Structure 1
Amino acid sequence: MASGQRAAFIVPEHVLVHPGELVFYLGLGLLAGVVGCLTIWSLYRMEHLFEVAPLPFALKPIIGGLSLGAIGYFMPEVYGVGYETVSAVLQQNAEFTTILLLIFLKIFATSLTLSAGGSGGVFAPSLFIGAMLGGAYGWIVNDWFPAMSAGYGAYALVGMAAVFAATSRATFTAIVILFEMTLDYSIILPLMFVCVIADQVAVAILKDTTIYSVKLKRKGLAFANDLGINVLSVTPIKNVMNDDVEVLHVDMTLAQAHEVTERQGHHVYPAIGGKGVLAGVVRPAELARSIKRDGSEGRVADLVQAAPIVAHPDETVMTALRRIGDEPDPHVVVVDRWDRKLLGIVTPTDMLRLSSRES
């Protein structure tokens, strides 16, 4: 970020113009905390939407790329780390409308990139979003109270650290990093004040969730600072699944399927199609009713129902348990993340056996 005494951002010297200006910085801290939470929430929701979308894996990055291309065509500032745009705001050479729009477009573009399978981080986007937020807020404050406030570049500078503090929950780190990137120590009081406020707002809204931990939490993984680690939270479901599964093929007749279910006696059977891809599940009770009602010449494909609980092999047992909820049939079908090929099945007994090891 800074090489020797060379700053990543060249900014004019900023000072606290008036003691009452701390009230304005308080407002920035509150906004930065909310925007930080919005950034985390946006990333979480976008990843969830792409994960559950019934689309081929290869199509998801295409959709993401086309969407980003459309945004960038009208607002190319959303691309890349955006240091040039941030520098322009810090030096007060930007338009208010552009700054305001970039807050939300950058949040959306970052979430879309990471969720669609693109490569990137969240550090630089957090700084970018914070600079735009601080710039827009400072513009309004300076327009209304010019005698009591610094230029909007000062608020952009503080906003960079504040949003990063809110998203990462690393307040002291945010303050130090901003010093390293700007080599500007003249605005330390409002900087520390705003970062602490933003951090506390984020804690109040999202508790211990950060932009770095949200994906781990979705997978049910424990963190190093947990007082106690639940074995269910750190064990991949592939470690407890039964891969020797009796399956029904969608092309089987009901009579053939009935023979299998009578022989095995399970409550639910995965149904597969070509190349072992999961088609759904078949329940013996429904199979028996169908044979009694319509005869045994029908096909299994006619009785296939969507699997109520599906997991991927790298997800944890705790993640699967959360999906079970009030589901009356708590069998978890494990499929490959990319081609939905059936890999195994996990029963409540398997999960209970794992849980008993911990005690």
Structure 2
Amino acid sequence: ILGQFSVGNLTAVVLAAVTSSIIGRAAFGEAPAFAATSYTVESLWEFPIYAVLGVLAGLAAVLFVRVLYWTEDVFDNSRKLPGWVKPAVGAALLGLLALLYGRIPGLGYDHIPQVFGVGYETITMALTGGGTVGLLLALLFLKILATSFTLGSGGSGGVFAPSLFVGSTLGAACGLVVNQLWPNITAPVGAYALVGMAAAFAGSTFASVTAVVMIFELTSDYRLILPLMLSVVISTLLARYMLNGESIYTLKLSRRGIRIASGRDVDVMQGVLVQEAMTTRVDTVPTTMTLDRLRTEFTRTQHHGFPVIDDEGKLYGVVTVQDASRALEAGMPPDTPVARFAERNLAVAYPDEPMADALNRLSVRDIGRLPVVSRRDPNLLLGAVRRSDILRAYNIALTRRAHIQHKAARIRLRKVDHTEFLELDVTPGSPCVGARIENLAGAMPHEAVLVSVRRASGEIIIPHGDTVLESGDRIVAFADEDAARHLTGVLLGNDVEG
């Protein structure tokens, strides 16, 4: 998630890891989570095989991520299904999976299916060379389904153990195949299970270093480190390309409007509130408006949707062109009131939240506008966020970011000896109002430079000789101590430093 190395980040991670390791070893002893044997590279011909395993692990990681989030989308788009019912539906799908489990050739279980729970027993089986190719591949795909049903429906769980499960079964299946084809030049099945486990984990999380260190901790042997790094890097690069740079963790953030680049949130829309960009004058329709009249309003205004207001002036719902078309296709008469077919399950925005959140809801729902309502009274319509408002919000965000970066640069340069930055506010009575900078240059001290001019509108410009100064401008200048007072007098007509 951090996506970068720095002293501060590395220090925190090392302290957390050391503390966790000490506590874990004190509580559980020195035995690793999985019983793994030390392996080595049997032949140089194995390196191409490990490269292919890296490709397969990357594809498996991509499949895992896409199926997981596709399942989540299916449940999220089931608007008529209450939120508290969705985990129950996911559990029912798991139960159906368990019923079908025994019907799959080669699969069987004593108490619960192997793909339920964390799956450490199955991982251990793969590391010790157990199972057949068909069994291992079946477990791989079933584990992806079981995890997706659980997490996609809103159930509790993680993706760490499932990614290890997927990688170990894939690696073991690959090991069985190459052991049959080239028994004299390939390592035991467990070696491929270990490498596959690390490669699939790295492909889904992009945590390449973590994957390599994790396997070393399991085996306490460096001899497998070269093929391990080869597979991990190939898997990570392939998955990063196919997932557009989003890991299984950062994809969750990006779908919520939080963009991560090099460990930092770079979505400028996070800094603009909905109330700053929303439209307050919104065309609405009453619940009593007929279907025929609504179609006329769509044609007259060229809008694609309207908020629907009840008799008390409260927000009732939203009606779109698609809603009207579906009502006609359903055979509703022209005098049908809007209340009969308006959408009641609304996606809304709040005035005090970032525009990035509103933009994310627009994208997920694929709609053109969001009603803005009060948090205290969700039925009180305050305005709307339209696609055109997004452009205005983006301009505001870019202006603010430029101002912040400009101010940060000034702060860094304040430490230069015997010099300082001045911020001079031009008032209506200042002598520089309406004057070109080239006409003021003769009176300004040589040891002073005008850096920027920020207009009252927020626009930041680089001053040139033909730049005309206006009332409301904020001038940033760089000057030495002696020239600062002189410059202030020339521009503002007084001897007070800015």
Deviation at 1:232, TM superposition (A): 2.0
Per-residue CA deviations over 1:150-204 (Å, capped at 9, x if unaligned) read 2211100111100011111111111112222443434222111111111121123
Q: Is it true that 1:33 corresponds to 2:72 in the alignment?
A: no
| Corresponding position of 1:95 | 132
The one-letter code sitting in structure 2 at the alignment partner of 1:280 is: V
Q: Percent identity?
A: 36
Per-residue CA deviations over 1:279-321 (Å, capped at 9, x if unaligned) read 43168xx8xxx9xxxx99652235x455999456677133245
* Distance in 2 separating the partners of 1:31 and 1:114: 24
1:43 maps to which of 68, 75, 87: 68
Deviation at 1:116, TM superposition (A): 0.3
CA contact (8 A) 2:362 2:369 kept: no
TM-score by length of 2: 0.58
Change over 3 Å in CA distance of 1:180–1:46 after alignment to 2:
same
Q: Is it true that 1:281 corresponds to 2:319 in the alignment?
A: yes
Change over 3 Å in CA distance of 1:77–1:71 after alignment to 2:
same
Question: Helix, strand or coil: the match of 1:77?
Answer: coil
The one-letter code sitting in structure 2 at the alignment partner of 1:173 is: T
The one-letter code sitting in structure 2 at the alignment partner of 1:354 is: A
Question: Helix, strand or coil: the match of 1:271?
Answer: strand
The one-letter code sitting in structure 2 at the alignment partner of 1:40 is: V
CA contact (8 A) 2:38 2:220 kept: no
Question: Helix, strand or coil: the match of 1:135?
Answer: helix
Deviation at 1:271, TM superposition (A): 2.7
Instruction: Tell me which protein shows more strand as a share of its residues.
Output: 2
* Distance in 2 separating the partners of 1:243 and 1:123: 46
The one-letter code sitting in structure 2 at the alignment partner of 1:8 is: A
Q: Is it true that 1:316 corresponds to 2:357 in the alignment?
A: yes
1:347 maps to which of 373, 382, 386: 386
1:300 maps to which of 338, 347, 352: 338
Instruction: Tell me which protein shows more helix as a share of its residues.
Output: 1
CA contact (8 A) 1:271 1:282 kept: no
| Corresponding position of 2:45 | 20
The one-letter code sitting in structure 2 at the alignment partner of 1:88 is: M
Change over 3 Å in CA distance of 1:120–1:132 after alignment to 2:
same
* Distance in 1 separating the partners of 2:252 and 2:60: 19
Give the aligned length.
336
CA contact (8 A) 2:132 2:173 kept: no
| Corresponding position of 2:145 | 108
Change over 3 Å in CA distance of 1:12–1:354 after alignment to 2:
same
Change over 3 Å in CA distance of 1:21–1:348 after alignment to 2:
closer
Question: Helix, strand or coil: the match of 1:78?
Answer: coil
CA contact (8 A) 1:78 1:102 kept: yes
Change over 3 Å in CA distance of 1:114–1:349 after alignment to 2:
same
Change over 3 Å in CA distance of 1:322–1:66 after alignment to 2:
closer
| Corresponding position of 1:61 | 87
Change over 3 Å in CA distance of 1:104–1:312 after alignment to 2:
farther
Question: Helix, strand or coil: the match of 1:220?
Answer: coil
* Distance in 1 separating the partners of 2:272 and 2:131: 50
Segment drifting more, 313-322 vs 139-148: 313-322
Deviation at 1:146, TM superposition (A): 0.9
Question: Helix, strand or coil: the match of 1:100?
Answer: helix
* Distance in 1 separating the partners of 2:221 and 2:149: 33
* Distance in 2 separating the partners of 1:81 and 1:67: 18
* Distance in 2 separating the partners of 1:119 and 1:335: 31
Change over 3 Å in CA distance of 1:162–1:106 after alignment to 2:
same
* Distance in 2 separating the partners of 1:45 and 1:70: 19
TM-score by length of 1: 0.78
Q: Which has the larger radius of gyration?
A: 2
Deviation at 1:40, TM superposition (A): 1.3
| Corresponding position of 1:197 | 234
Q: Is it true that 1:78 corresponds to 2:103 in the alignment?
A: no
The one-letter code sitting in structure 1 at the alignment partner of 2:339 is: A
The one-letter code sitting in structure 2 at the alignment partner of 1:33 is: G
Change over 3 Å in CA distance of 1:253–1:220 after alignment to 2:
closer
Q: Which has the higher contact order (CA 8 A, sep 6+)?
A: 1
* Distance in 2 separating the partners of 1:80 and 1:213: 24
Change over 3 Å in CA distance of 1:98–1:307 after alignment to 2:
same
* Distance in 2 separating the partners of 1:107 and 1:297: 50
Question: Helix, strand or coil: the match of 1:19?
Answer: coil
The one-letter code sitting in structure 2 at the alignment partner of 1:331 is: R
Gaps of 5+ in 2: 1-20, 102-107, 400-498
Question: Helix, strand or coil: the match of 1:281?
Answer: strand
Question: Helix, strand or coil: the match of 2:40?
Answer: coil
Per-residue CA deviations over 1:39-89 (Å, capped at 9, x if unaligned) read 111122111111112322222111100111222342611111111111111
CA contact (8 A) 1:11 1:182 kept: yes
Deviation at 1:240, TM superposition (A): 5.9
* Distance in 2 separating the partners of 1:240 and 1:165: 41
Change over 3 Å in CA distance of 1:242–1:64 after alignment to 2:
farther
| Corresponding position of 1:216 | 253
The one-letter code sitting in structure 2 at the alignment partner of 1:190 is: P
Deviation at 1:149, TM superposition (A): 1.0
